[in-house]
Amino acid sequence: MRVLGIETSCDETAAAVVEGGVRLLSDAVAGQEDLHAPYGGVVPEVAGRAHEATVVPVIERALRGAGIGLDGIDGIAVTNRPGLVGSLLVGVQAAKSLSLATGLPLVGVNHVLAHAHANLLSGVRLRFPLVALVVSGGHTNLYLCRSPLEEDLLGATVDDAAGEAFDKVAALLDLGFPGGPAVDRLAREGDRAAVRFPRTRGARGTLDFSFSGLKTAVLYHLRGQDARPGRGRNRPGARPADVAASFQEALVDSLVGITLEGARRHRVAQIVLGGGVACNGRLRERMAQEGARAGLEVVLPPPRLCTDNGAMVAALGTHLLRAGLRDGLDLEVFPRLLRNPSVKKERRRKGAGVGRTEAEVGGKEAEVGR
């Protein structure tokens, strides 16, 4: 089965062809960084318009790269949640048009879960059940995946996403946008122990994350307003590289600690990472080291499969299509995922989720905006 995956949820227009859910035949991405950089963040209107201009050429590139035409495709998968509505609509409209013109089956895909499924393409055998940490600009989610189609949300950020924290701290340090890669680079020259930033997390006993306190601590430190200035090792006037390295260390501490705790609690043998922040050198290093020490196999996707791409959408879409799931031309887009089990129950009651998997209905995260 060859599936065309289409991704336009944020600021990357991407399309890819995947065979059998695991073999990448082509992978085309058109980024928009230059368009958004002057504004210091993604401007939704600018993103939607740019997708409009690039979506068809990118799909054509993906098909050309795979050496096939639309007649060589068996199904179409498209990100329909979560993301910028104006951006999601462009990809979903393109997918619907192709499905209408060709009669090919269509399925909508949850972008956050797709990040975890990028690992299906990394050539490593996945051993279910496993724990997946998805860390991107918009989400920090920890899942227990029982199969490619069954997952429970174990924890999530209660405020900023990890990538958002990287981007905001990068802005404080004047490193430009997107900030994650710049902080990662600068941190390599810094002293991780220069500033002791707080290790924050969600409510006690949960596997939730929290990063806004850490971001605020960085802000106060840069303003010279540490809670205890001059005490301990919080040297006022630490170099930007030291601040970057110390911030990154605190954030990575939380990500690694909570993920390992999730793996222990649920007795899994494998941890997989996904999302743009999974490109981070220190996160990869520490997750691999500490996972190994705990007797766990840690799977790190290659960096180009960590950031937004069409391949992960095609990989998860293949499993959904194989399980018989189909969406029609009434497929909608949803800006957010919401952790609200009662909404899930409500949907079940109405029959919306009957016979469908958690991956399909969004699991504990039911869509809002209905």
Rounded CA separation 300/289 (Å): 12
**Quick check: 329 and 52 in contact, CB under 8 A?**
no
x/- binding map, residues 135-174, to ligand KG4, per CB under 6 A?
-xxx------------------------x--xx-------
Supply angle C-alpha 331, 306, 239, rounded to 5.
Answer: 130
Rounded CA separation 289/187 (Å): 19
**Quick check: 214 and 197 in contact, CB under 8 A?**
yes
x/- binding map, residues 249-288, to Zn ion, per CB under 5 A?
----------------------------------------
Q: In whole angstroms, how close is the CB of 52 to ligand KG4 at the nearest point?
A: 19
What is the SS3 assignment for 302?
coil
- Only segment of 31-39, 43-51, 61-69, 130-138 that touches Zn ion (CB under 5 A): 130-138
Other CB atoms within 10 A of residue 352 CB:
13
CA 43 to chain centroid:
19
CA 104 to chain centroid:
27
Q: In whole angstroms, how close is the CB of 337 to ligand KG4 at the nearest point?
A: 12
Name residues contacting ligand KG4, limited to 299-318 (CB under 6 A).
Answer: 307-308
Q: In whole angstroms, how close is the CB of 305 to Zn ion at the nearest point?
A: 11
Q: In whole angstroms, how close is the CB of 67 to ligand KG4 at the nearest point?
A: 27
Name residues contacting Zn ion, limited to 132-171 (CB under 5 A).
Answer: 136
What is the SS3 assignment for 154?
strand
Binder of residue 270, out of Zn ion, ligand KG4, none (CB less than 5 to 8 A by kind): none
Rg (alpha carbons) of the chain, rounded to whole number = 20
Binder of ligand KG4 out of 98, 280, 286, 364 (CB under 6 A): 280
Name residues contacting Zn ion, limited to 289-318 (CB under 5 A).
Answer: 308
Rounded CA separation 46/283 (Å): 31
Residues that bind Zn ion (CB under 5 A): 136, 308
Residues in the site for ligand KG4, rule: CB under 6 A? 10, 136-138, 163, 166-167, 178-181, 184, 275-277, 279-280, 307-308
